[in-house]
Structure 1
Amino acid sequence: MENNDNEMTLTNRQGHPISDNQNIRTVGSRGPSTLENYHYIEKLSHFDRERVPQRVVHARGAGAHGYFEAYGKVGDKPVSTYTRAKLFQEAGKQTPVFVRFSTVVHGGHSPETFRDPRGFATKFYTEEGNWDLVGNNIKIFFIRDPIKFPDMIHAFRPDPVNNLQNPEGMFDFVSNSPEALHMITFIFSPWGIPANYRQMQGSGVNTYKWVKSDGQAVLIKYHWEPKQGIKNLTQEEANAIQAKSISHATQDLYEAIERGEYPEWELCIQMMSDDEHAELDFDPLDDTKLWDHEKWPFLPVGKMVLNKNPDNFFAEVEQSAFGTGVLVDGLDFSDDKMLQGRTFSYSDTQRYRVGTNYLQLPINSPKSRVATNQRDGQMAYRVDKAPGQNPHVDYEPSSLDGLKEAVPSGKDHQPSYNAKLVRQAIDRTNDYKQAGETYRKFEDWERNELIGNLVGALKVCHPIIQEKMIEHFSKADPDYGARVRDGLSKASADPSHLGSDALREGAEVAEHAGRSTDAY
């Protein structure tokens, strides 16, 4: 056993050696997390404050206002069969929304053609308060445990010494985190560079729950499907755009709305019973995995239309603040570890970035009634109290005209647990199967583009990292690994080779200018 006095032993800022930096503490390997996750909370609290004042991630963004219109049904059944959330119940009911699209890793003025996931965050101003659906364009993620998130972002960012972007750090992390292979397969394919925001999918990524009046729940995945069609870019196309503009996606969204060509998305859900599903070879709460849409079909529940540009970018787009914990009655958390970790981190970073009273800003404030006992703090400019509330009473319970608890609208969802409190990975990781399936589902031009992009990035990495990545690719699909190995061999023999042969082949097949069908 390695001595903890070794100078390379990882510690926290209190000097405590960290023996597990991969798993938060949960009730059982797949159960909910607990508030006493000291190392995780300290790690994320610091990470949330690493950049001033722009967002730590998702700094580059664009946004627009619009509305969500409910269909009132899930398939041939009324929505109330599955959830009591009011915004979904009535066909034709419209709820105001604000959407912020973004890139993830790079700064506020970085090109929108960078190979990077795209954020897709929607704020619903419902009659029962705000609901934030915070996700990305790709339906999965790199990691399944939130304690790894700061390390992942550090690895993906420019070098901390010279501030130069170098793929070696990213692939060093990924080669030691095989769960990321599926996401890497998407990111280095054309799906890694959406053509614009209007033709981009969105996904909640995490698993949530819908709860009906009797407290019973089902597992839910959310997906935004663009009615404008889906379009992605090859690297060559992205390079050509970047030579002319670093803000093409923001400009495209703004000008389309100004012309009256309002973009629309349909909100679909996937639904699964709320249990462990031992019959599957993966855990349905694992956000590195897709739910097969043939087994769990996309069910439309409403549509969204964006029809108004912001009046002021800073006041609305930049100061908008989202959180995965912002749910309304009838919507609930699952035990998805990443969802529970994000729920702490998002609200924590908003209070740091925008201020204690960020929810009093118009873009973040609910359009429904607000009455709380929270007071003061930086930049407070109103008191959130009811008209008849005794101004001397800022606590509850009280007999002196203070605020009263609400009447429950249904039974609480009460999941039960019988497990030890552990720091432990989930049982069914299966890191390679879906990555291989995704590779095989790609069209020829998408596979060619994927291999060319990977070779171009891995070419500069240490041979140890290259070999680890080839091993991972080969476990996903033998052809996948063999083609990367062959590309790297050619690149080693010819330093000018960056997978260009594969890219040219892909460009010839992709005469449809990067238009992609749904690989999910």
Structure 2
Amino acid sequence: MSKSKPTPPPATPTPREAVSNAKLEELDQNREDSHGQFLTTNQGVRINDDHNSLKAGERGPTLLEDFIFREKMTHFDHERIPERIVHARGVAAHGYFEAYDNNASLTRAAFLQPGVKTPVFARFSTVAGSRGSTDLARDTRGFSVKFYTEEGVYDLVGNNMPVFHIQDAAKFPDLVHAVKPEPHNEIPQATAAHDTFWDFISVTPEAMHIIMWLMSDRALPRSLRMMEGFGVHTFRLIDAAGKSRFVKFHWKPLLGVHGVAWEEAQQVSGKDPDFHRRDLWNSIEMGAYPEWELGVQVVEEEDEFKFDFDLLDPTKLIPEDLVPVQPLGKMVLNRNVDNYFAETEQVAFHPGHVVPGIDFSNDPLLQGRLFSYTDTQLKRLGGPNFHEIPINRSLCPMHNGQRDGHMRQAINKGQTSYSPNLLNDNFPKQAKQAEGGFVSHPERIEAHKVRARSKSFVDHYSQARLFWNSQTEVEQMHMVKALRFEIGHVLQESIRSRMLILLSQVSEDLAARVAEGLGLAVPSAEGVQINLNVGADTDPAPYQSGPAKADTGRDSALSMAVTAKANAGKESIKTRHVAILATDGADLEAIADLMKALMDQGAQTAIVATHLGSIKGENGQQMLVNGTFQSTASVLYDAVYVAGGAASVAKLKQDADAVRFVNEAYRHCKPIAASAAGIELLKAAAYPGATDILDAEGVVTSDDAQVGELAKKFMAAMAQHRFWDRELKAMPA
């Protein structure tokens, strides 16, 4: 049977094609091009200032009547379902917080009184990526804790960085739109390395401080358990007499603050994108409970204006060298969730969930978030009863006149749901302050309604310079490489040039080093103004930062490397992961001795060999293998030990993956140890022309098969976490 020839397409559209073309024309009518147009509300009202929310005075609270902000934020909050718009990828755990005995003079909050123990639920997250992205993206991390106090739920909503990108909540939708995958192709995922983000940053100089943090190793934590947390905003603590003090909240991990190399983070994302989740889960399951101290920096109200920055500016921090952190208590996470969706996914944090003794400042970013968080939960969790979901429910009784709504769980009895009433003797009644009633701090405000930003907010570069100057030489090198990577992915040269101008305001050296990697010269900043197009009636000058202070000094708390060295003799090796490289013919007695020494100090060990099952020792004994060079990698461990045994080492030297395992561990500046014949594998893994691996910092060797003394030196090296200075002398990571 012969095949029929294909029928040529008709000269005129078929009826079905005609309908399809008509539909396309209808869709075209809904496509909009904003080029050359005025900015408007959804109702077509032209907007004069889209950069500032309406406030009672330049430093006053945001007003609820700001219909432009409310419309913009409401639309933004409801843009994505069902996952969170930001902080979608998270992991959480239960635990408790126990207050120290020094807090009564600062606050009347019951959970901070001496010895009080409060259940908590903590959630950690990346910000920009979706639920399916990697844990090791270069990103800010969320760090939020829900305290189930006897006075109600208190949520400390924070990040692992103490500052933010913007100064006013009106710009939050713009920030997130810029950092998310670009809308025309939904690329790239979980990274800021693209045009729209850096375009936004290049015309938003107030973001330069957090850009320094994001380009540092702070954006690549080794573990969530080794990550600081910050409340970001300035809050108030109110004592029993009603006296108010300004505070900044800090979480300090007891394991120290540590990061990973960028190359290492990229490899971890491929080897185990759930690295942080798995680490937190496994640590809790094995009883190595993560711990943090909660502390505050306290500023008396009369000292509000004594600094050369504004306490209400969320792009600024208070240097710890100026105001030390006072510890309030300790949090311990000791139980994993039972159901990810019911707990981790459905938990709803809100900076407006406060208890008596804690109150807000007029930080314009915080003021906007107080509206946005409630609005977001209404959409994400189905309605106004999200507070009744078990993970969100207060442990103390709830009584009010709120009724009905989607997914109502409480069964309220009685006739009345209003106040005042006489049918129920006016119950539930209002509580006096002495009865635990929440009373807002009576701050006096006299101001005009304005859309403006305080002139005290306009130094955008001094604290960015402070952060840069506080980093060690190798940390600065990491930041330069990060900026070259990020801005190197920007296609528009004009954006790259604008970023170099902003970087030059932070540090001329920084800008020059980044420019060299981009193949550009640093443009002159003379006469350059970044016009935010704030409206014809608004002078753009207040938004232009003056030059950074010539001498910003340094703050030792801003450098992880400086902090790690200062704590080198204090930090334990608890929960550190050690890979032990060995195969058949290894000295299993020495391995057993080393494993015991490490595990006695709380470290975790794993035998990595050329095959699964068991390896046979020199004397015929056997030891179980935990992984092979094909199933695991050095980036998943904190330190490496190469066991002795001539037959074992000979086989490992012939295995390219084994050689690369040691090579990468050295490249990533990790502690390495080897005994007896194991030293030969280190020599095989050394970079040609590099500093002798055996003489490098953090490399511990012993010709003796006995590992007693070697174990002590190895554990001392592990306590320092990394030896970053290797990068200045050898092949950089």
The two structures have a TM-score, normalised by structure 1, of 0.90
Indicate yes or no: 2:459 matched with 1:436. Answer: no
Evaluate the alpha carbon distance shift between residue 424 and residue 36 of structure 1 in structure 2; reply closer, same or farther with a 3 A threshold. Answer: same
Looking at structure 2, the residues matched to 330 and 264 of structure 1 have their Cα atoms a distance apart, in angstroms, of 24
Q: Which residue of 1 aligns with 2:430?
A: 405
Cα deviation code 1:436-489 (max 9, x no counterpart): 111111111211111111112212322221121111111112211111122211
Q: Which residue of 1 aligns with 2:401?
A: 373
User: Does structure 2 conserve the Cα–Cα contact (< 8 Å) formed by 1:233 and 1:513?
Assistant: no
Identity of aligned residues (%): 40
Q: Which residue of 2 aligns with 1:145?
A: 168
Out of 432, 436, 454, the position equivalent to 1:426 is: 454
SS in 1 for 2:517: helix
Out of 194, 208, 218, the position equivalent to 2:245 is: 218
Evaluate the alpha carbon distance shift between residue 276 and residue 283 of structure 1 in structure 2; reply closer, same or farther with a 3 A threshold. Answer: farther
Alignment of 1:10-409 (within 5 A): 10-73=39-102, 79-90=103-114, 92-165=115-188, 167-274=194-301, 277-355=304-382, 356-383=384-411, 385=412, 391-401=414-424, 402-409=427-434
Cα deviation code 1:30-87 (max 9, x no counterpart): 11111101111111111111111111111000000000000020xxxxx232211111
Q: What is the deviation of 1:514?
A: 5.5
Q: Which residue of 1 aligns with 2:485?
A: 456
Q: How many residues align?
A: 490
User: Does structure 2 conserve the Cα–Cα contact (< 8 Å) formed by 1:459 and 1:491?
Assistant: no
User: Does structure 2 conserve the Cα–Cα contact (< 8 Å) formed by 1:281 and 1:430?
Assistant: no
Which structure has the bigger radius of gyration?
2
Q: Choose between structure 1 and 2 for higher RCO, CA contacts under 8 A separated by at least 6 residues.
A: 1
Looking at structure 2, the residues matched to 258 and 421 of structure 1 have their Cα atoms a distance apart, in angstroms, of 54
Out of 476, 495, 500, the position equivalent to 1:447 is: 476
Q: What is the deviation of 1:274?
A: 2.5
User: Does structure 2 conserve the Cα–Cα contact (< 8 Å) formed by 1:215 and 1:414?
Assistant: no
User: Does structure 2 conserve the Cα–Cα contact (< 8 Å) formed by 1:445 and 1:506?
Assistant: no
Evaluate the alpha carbon distance shift between residue 415 and residue 453 of structure 1 in structure 2; reply closer, same or farther with a 3 A threshold. Answer: same
Task: Give the counterpart letter for 1:169 in structure 2.
Answer: T
Q: What is the deviation of 1:214?
A: 2.7
User: Does structure 1 conserve the Cα–Cα contact (< 8 Å) formed by 2:226 and 2:255?
Assistant: yes
Looking at structure 2, the residues matched to 515 and 341 of structure 1 have their Cα atoms a distance apart, in angstroms, of 43
Looking at structure 2, the residues matched to 507 and 175 of structure 1 have their Cα atoms a distance apart, in angstroms, of 32
Looking at structure 1, the residues matched to 57 and 323 of structure 2 have their Cα atoms a distance apart, in angstroms, of 26
Q: What is the deviation of 1:415?
A: 0.5
Looking at structure 1, the residues matched to 179 and 187 of structure 2 have their Cα atoms a distance apart, in angstroms, of 11
Q: What is the deviation of 1:491?
A: 11
Evaluate the alpha carbon distance shift between residue 418 and residue 258 of structure 1 in structure 2; reply closer, same or farther with a 3 A threshold. Answer: same
User: Does structure 1 conserve the Cα–Cα contact (< 8 Å) formed by 2:246 and 2:298?
Assistant: yes
User: Does structure 1 conserve the Cα–Cα contact (< 8 Å) formed by 2:53 and 2:168?
Assistant: yes
Deviates more, 1:209-218 or 1:254-263: 209-218
Looking at structure 2, the residues matched to 207 and 132 of structure 1 have their Cα atoms a distance apart, in angstroms, of 15
User: Does structure 2 conserve the Cα–Cα contact (< 8 Å) formed by 1:99 and 1:121?
Assistant: yes
Q: Which residue of 1 aligns with 2:503?
A: 473
Deviates more, 1:276-285 or 1:31-40: 276-285
User: Does structure 1 conserve the Cα–Cα contact (< 8 Å) formed by 2:264 and 2:668?
Assistant: no
Q: What is the deviation of 1:276?
A: 7.6
Looking at structure 2, the residues matched to 109 and 6 of structure 1 have their Cα atoms a distance apart, in angstroms, of 34
User: Does structure 1 conserve the Cα–Cα contact (< 8 Å) formed by 2:512 and 2:521?
Assistant: no
Looking at structure 2, the residues matched to 41 and 168 of structure 1 have their Cα atoms a distance apart, in angstroms, of 28
Task: Give the counterpart letter for 1:352 in structure 2.
Answer: K
Cα deviation code 1:212-251 (max 9, x no counterpart): 2232201111000000111112211101211211111000
Looking at structure 2, the residues matched to 278 and 259 of structure 1 have their Cα atoms a distance apart, in angstroms, of 48
User: Does structure 1 conserve the Cα–Cα contact (< 8 Å) formed by 2:141 and 2:159?
Assistant: yes
Looking at structure 1, the residues matched to 486 and 722 of structure 2 have their Cα atoms a distance apart, in angstroms, of 21
Evaluate the alpha carbon distance shift between residue 488 and residue 392 of structure 1 in structure 2; reply closer, same or farther with a 3 A threshold. Answer: same
Indicate yes or no: 2:513 matched with 1:483. Answer: yes
Q: What is the deviation of 1:6?
A: 8.2
Q: Structure 2 stretches of 5 or more lacking a match?
A: 1-33, 523-665, 670-695, 699-719, 725-733
Task: Give the counterpart letter for 1:182 in structure 2.
Answer: H
Q: What is the deviation of 1:156?
A: 0.3
Q: What is the deviation of 1:188?
A: 1.2
SS in 2 for 1:374: coil
Evaluate the alpha carbon distance shift between residue 412 and residue 39 of structure 1 in structure 2; reply closer, same or farther with a 3 A threshold. Answer: closer
Task: Give the counterpart letter for 2:358 in structure 1.
Answer: L
User: Does structure 2 conserve the Cα–Cα contact (< 8 Å) formed by 1:449 and 1:506?
Assistant: no
User: Does structure 1 conserve the Cα–Cα contact (< 8 Å) formed by 2:254 and 2:291?
Assistant: yes
User: Does structure 2 conserve the Cα–Cα contact (< 8 Å) formed by 1:444 and 1:506?
Assistant: no
Looking at structure 2, the residues matched to 434 and 483 of structure 1 have their Cα atoms a distance apart, in angstroms, of 20
Q: What is the deviation of 1:335?
A: 0.5
User: Does structure 1 conserve the Cα–Cα contact (< 8 Å) formed by 2:206 and 2:315?
Assistant: yes
Cα deviation code 1:166-200 (max 9, x no counterpart): 52111100010001011011101111111221111
> In angstroms, what is the RMSD of aligned CA positions?
2.2
Looking at structure 2, the residues matched to 400 and 510 of structure 1 have their Cα atoms a distance apart, in angstroms, of 78
Q: Structure 1 stretches of 5 or more lacking a match?
A: 74-78, 493-504
Looking at structure 2, the residues matched to 459 and 373 of structure 1 have their Cα atoms a distance apart, in angstroms, of 57
SS in 2 for 1:66: strand
Looking at structure 2, the residues matched to 361 and 432 of structure 1 have their Cα atoms a distance apart, in angstroms, of 44
User: Does structure 2 conserve the Cα–Cα contact (< 8 Å) formed by 1:54 and 1:108?
Assistant: yes
Task: Give the counterpart letter for 1:360 in structure 2.
Answer: E
Deviates more, 1:481-490 or 1:316-325: 481-490
The two structures have a TM-score, normalised by structure 2, of 0.65
User: Does structure 1 conserve the Cα–Cα contact (< 8 Å) formed by 2:96 and 2:332?
Assistant: yes
SS in 2 for 1:431: coil
SS in 2 for 1:349: helix
